[in-house]
């Protein structure tokens, strides 16, 4: 239905232009031209196929096993939560189609997840691969970037709009996406002498609203261009309103944090409840202790009871040992080893990793205390100069072993020297081929001595010229000169002197040959 009082696009443009001019002066104009890249994505149709979920928890675990090493408990708990969530989505969709009233009345507690664990142990990696497998969009953000009002930093609702972008404008699919918020431990409201810090609390409340159910406008209120475009679209479509909001009822929320001080909170609680029973808290690893975390512990930490209450699934990711890091390098399908192999292969260089080398990388990475992230840090530190120096150096393969990891500079120097030798051999082969072709044309034997070859290689390198071109230039008069000696049995030995003074060398050889021939001709037949 068309709204009689809605302004025309021209009126909107005029009003906005007047507004801009009043604010910024008459040199300002306002265009309603929207470039294709600025356009809000149109809701895409996925061939009319509604989103369907059909995985078993064990399928999800098996998929995660391909990429994520260890974290078996986390994989299992996450797999179950994801299956519960999306099976419920399937069920509700069907019910909504059949009996909307019943659908509205059906209660369901969403299986939102809180992941605990130190940095770099695979929390994001797990969630990303779950989203990939399920085929839903995935958005990640740090809780610290949001503020309560959305004026500073980002607005939590932007996350939902980002899901639509990730789904290429498919609003329907976006509503089944996964929003992953890291560093939620940093928005815990800490107690201070002046009372509770409210900023973190505000962000928790904003997130809570999203986690429950809310309609998020497709275009942010402060996105003037988006708002304007919406008005224009409304006009163009003859007043038929398009879907303008995204419902978060079926969005799966996963939050995470390191909760570094949680150990103290849990230990304190355990100690209090076991006083007099001879318990010795403190002997467990962080992971083991975190498994015992309770809602009260989270509240004590500074999370609002309503917030933590919306996160019924708790998953603990463990710290990774040296052996785990080694396995990540060797076995994970996403191993950075593959990245390095590809990076060097792009320059025609094959790189091989030896087990002992991988082990040392894992040991050094563990010292970084940043989980699997340390692997990349260590590899970059060691291999950066190889990536710079080796391409174009003549080296076409090398092995990353213990020796290289422990003394990369020494190995690089050796490789560069080998590369130079290989390059020289290649150039020498081109020079030899050049003279062979020349010789066979006139049925002659022509040879280059080793010092002559060395001289040619040196000049090709110093003049930065192709060996074939260099030879063609040096021996340009030989085409004609050698014709005079066609079929001679005595070989022409090209020495260093021949490279330095090619023409004189050739004419002297021809004269010598001529004299020798005459001598043979003059001498009485034997
Ligand atoms: P965080 O736990 O801080 O979210 P990430 O999941 O972002 O850490 O891990 C950073 C990178 O380290 C990943 O992209 C992945 O390459 C690697 N990684 C981390 N943990 C694992 C693991 N358990 N198995 C395989 N790779 C891992």
pLDDT tens by residue, 419-466: 999 999 999 999 999 999 999 999 999 999 999 999 999 999 899 999
User: In the beta sheet, which residues pair with residue 400?
Assistant: 353
Distance CA 372, CA 324 (A): 9
Helix (H) or strand (E) segment spanning residue 331: helix 322-331
Q: Which atom of ligand 1 is nearest to the CA of 70?
A: 23
Strand, coil or helix: 467? helix
68, 69, 117, 120, best to mutate for ligand 1 pocket (most atoms within 8 Å of CB): 120
Of 78, 119, 121, the residue with max ligand 1 atoms within 8 A of its CB, to mutate for a pocket test, comes to 121
Residues above pLDDT 70, as percent of the chain: 84
Helices 373-389, 322-331: crossing angle, 10 deg rounding: 50
Q: In 346-446, where does DSSP find H-type helix?
A: 355-368, 373-389, 402-406, 408-441
How many residues appear in the chain? 526
Question: What is the Å distance from ligand 1's center to 328 Cα?
Answer: 9
- Maximum Cα–Cα distance for the chain, whole Å? 127
Residue 20 has pLDDT above 70, yes or no: no
- CB atoms < 10 A from the CB of 487, how many? 7
> How far apart, in Å, are the Cα atoms of 337 and each of 128, 333, 354, 361, 400?
20, 10, 11, 11, 11
Q: Find out whether the beta carbon of 123 lies less than 6 Å from any atom of ligand 1.
A: yes
Q: Measured between alpha carbons, how far apart are the two ends of the chain, in Å?
A: 121
- State whether the beta carbon of 12 lies less than 6 angstroms from ligand 1: no
**Tens-place pLDDT, residues 110-138:** 999 999 999 999 999 999 999 999 999 99
Tell the burial category of 420 from Cβ atoms under 10 Å away from its Cβ (0-12, 13-18, 19+). Answer: middle
User: Is the distance from CB of 116 to CB of 262 less than 8 angstroms?
Assistant: yes
Q: Tell me, in angstroms, the distance from the centre of ligand 1 to residue 120's CA.
A: 5
Question: Is the separation of the CB atoms in 213 and 249 below 8 Å?
Answer: yes
Model confidence pLDDT, tens digit, residues 395-409: 999 999 999 999 999
Contact 81, 313 (CB under 8 A): yes
Distance 122 CA to ligand 1 centre (A): 3
pLDDT at residue 500, rounded to an integer:
96
Give the span between the Cα atoms of 391 and 363, in whole angstroms. Answer: 28
pLDDT in tens, 462-489: 999 999 999 999 999 998 899 988 888 8
pLDDT average, residue stretch 59-87: 97
Cβ 68 under 6 angstroms from ligand 1: yes
Give this prediction's pTM. Answer: 0.80
264 Cα to the center of ligand 1, angstroms: 26
120 Cβ closer than 6 Å to some ligand 1 atom: yes
d(CA 327, CA 471): 53
Q: Which pLDDT belongs to residue 36?
A: 40
Q: What mean pLDDT is predicted for residues 22-45?
A: 49
Q: Which of 24-38, 77-91, 211-225, 247-261 has the lowest mean pLDDT?
A: 24-38
- Closest atom of ligand 1 to 336 CA is 16
Ligand 1 pocket: which of 122, 130, 321, 337 to mutate (most atoms within 8 A of CB): 122
Q: What are phi and psi of 216, to 5 degrees?
A: -100, 125
Give how far Cα 10 sits from Cα of 15, 26, 115, 518, Å: 9, 19, 51, 103
How far, in Å, CA of 10 to CA of 482, rounded?
A: 86
116 Cβ partners below 8 Å, 6+ apart?
256, 257, 258, 259, 262, 290, 293, 314, 315, 316, 317
Would you place residue 271 in the very low, low, confident or very high pLDDT band (cuts 50, 70, 90)? confident
Q: Which atom of ligand 1 is nearest to the CA of 320?
A: 23
Query: Is the shortest distance between the CB of 69 and ligand 1 below 6 Å?
Result: yes
- Each residue's pLDDT tens digit, 178-214: 999 999 999 988 654 444 455 788 889 889 999 999 9
Task: Report the nearest atom of ligand 1 relative to the CA of 317.
Answer: 2
Mean pLDDT along residues 221-230 = 74
Report whether residue 121 contacts ligand 1, using a CB cutoff of 6 Å: yes
pLDDT of residue 50: 77
Which whole-number Å values give the CA distances from 50 to 87, 138, 149, 242, 390, in the listed order? 14, 18, 35, 19, 51
- Residue scoring higher pLDDT (329 or 100): 329
Q: Which of 489, 499, 480 is nearest to 445 (CA)?
A: 489
Closest CA to 78 of 136, 125, 141, 137: 125
The three-state secondary structure class of 439 is: helix
Using the predicted structure, report yes or no on whether residue 45 has a pLDDT greater than 60: no
**For ligand 1, atom 13: residue with the closest CA:** 125
Exposed / middle / buried, residue 275 (Cβ in 10 Å: 0-12, 13-18, 19+) = exposed
Q: Which residue has the higher pLDDT, 500 or 235?
A: 500
> 58-72, 260-274, 337-351, 471-485: which range is least confident on average?
260-274
Burial of 291 (0-12, 13-18, 19+ CB in 10 A): middle
Q: What is the pLDDT of residue 40?
A: 43
CA of 494 to the centre of ligand 1 (A): 62
Q: Point out the ligand 1 atom lying closest to the alpha carbon of residue 67.
A: 25
Quote the ligand 1 centre to 124 CA distance (angstroms): 7
Q: Which residue has the higher pLDDT, 427 or 274?
A: 427
Q: Give the atom of ligand 1 at the shortest distance from the alpha carbon of 256.
A: 4
Mean pLDDT of all residues in the chain? 87
Mutate to test the pocket of ligand 1, among 113, 114, 125, 140 (most ligand atoms within 8 A of CB): 125
């Amino acid at each position: 239905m068309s709204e009689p009082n809605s302004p025309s696009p021209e009126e909107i443009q005029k009003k906005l232009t007047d507004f801009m001019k009043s604010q910024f002066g008459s040199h300002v104009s306002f265009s309603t031209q929207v470039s294709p890249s600025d356009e809000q994505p149109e809701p895409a149709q996925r061939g009319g196929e509604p989103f369907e979920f059909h995985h078993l928890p064990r399928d999800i675990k098996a998929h995660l096993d391909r990429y994520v090493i260890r974290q078996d408990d986390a994989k299992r708990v996450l797999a179950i939560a994801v299956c519960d969530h999306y099976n419920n989505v399937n069920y509700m969709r069907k019910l909504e189609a059949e009996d909307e009233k019943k659908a509205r009345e059906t209660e369901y507690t969403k299986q939102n997840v809180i992941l605990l664990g130190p940095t770099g142990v695979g929390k994001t990696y797990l969630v990303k691969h779950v989203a990939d497998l399920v085929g839903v969009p995935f958005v990640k953000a740090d809780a610290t970037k949001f503020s309560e009002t959305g004026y500073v930093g980002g607005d939590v609702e932007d996350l939902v709009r980002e899901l639509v972008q990730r789904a290429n404008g498919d609003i329907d699919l976006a509503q089944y996406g996964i929003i992953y918020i890291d560093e939620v431990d940093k928005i815990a409201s800490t107690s201070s002498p002046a009372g509770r810090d409210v900023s973190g609390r505000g962000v928790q409340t904003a997130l809570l609203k999203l986690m429950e159910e809310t309609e998020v406008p497709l275009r942010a209120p402060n996105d003037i261009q988006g708002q304007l475009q919406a008005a224009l679209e409304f006009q163009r479509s003859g007043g038929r309103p398009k879907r303008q909001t995204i419902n978060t009822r079926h969005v799966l929320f996963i939050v995470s944090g390191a909760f570094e001080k949680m150990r103290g909170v849990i230990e304190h609680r355990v100690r209090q409840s076991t006083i007099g029973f001879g318990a010795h808290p403190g002997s467990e690893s962080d992971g083991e202790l975190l498994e015992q975390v309770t809602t009260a512990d989270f509240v004590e930490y500074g999370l609002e009871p309503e917030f933590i209450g919306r996160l019924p699934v708790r998953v603990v990711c463990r710290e990774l040992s040296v052996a785990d890091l080694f396995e990540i390098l060797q076995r994970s399908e996403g191993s950075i080893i593959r990245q390095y192999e590809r990076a060097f292969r792009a320059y025609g260089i094959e790189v091989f990793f030896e087990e002992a080398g991988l082990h040392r990388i894992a040991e050094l990475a563990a010292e970084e205390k940043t989980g699997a992230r340390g692997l990349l840090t260590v590899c970059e530190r060691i291999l950066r100069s190889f990536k710079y120096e080796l391409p174009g150096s003549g080296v076409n393969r090398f092995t990353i072993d213990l020796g290289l990891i422990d003394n990369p500079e020494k190995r690089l120097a050796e490789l560069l020297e080998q590369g130079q030798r290989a390059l020289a051999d290649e150039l020498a082969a081109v020079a030899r081929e050049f003279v062979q072709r020349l010789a066979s044309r006139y049925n002659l034997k022509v040879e280059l001595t080793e010092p002559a070859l060395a001289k040619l290689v040196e000049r090709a390198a110093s003049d930065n010229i192709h060996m074939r071109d260099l030879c063609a230039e040096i021996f340009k008069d030989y085409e004609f000169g050698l014709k005079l000696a066609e079929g001679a049995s005595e070989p022409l030995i090209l020495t260093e002197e021949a490279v330095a003074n090619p023409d004189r060398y050739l004419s002297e050889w021809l004269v010598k040959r001529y004299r020798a021939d005459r001598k043979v001709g003059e001498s009485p037949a034997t």
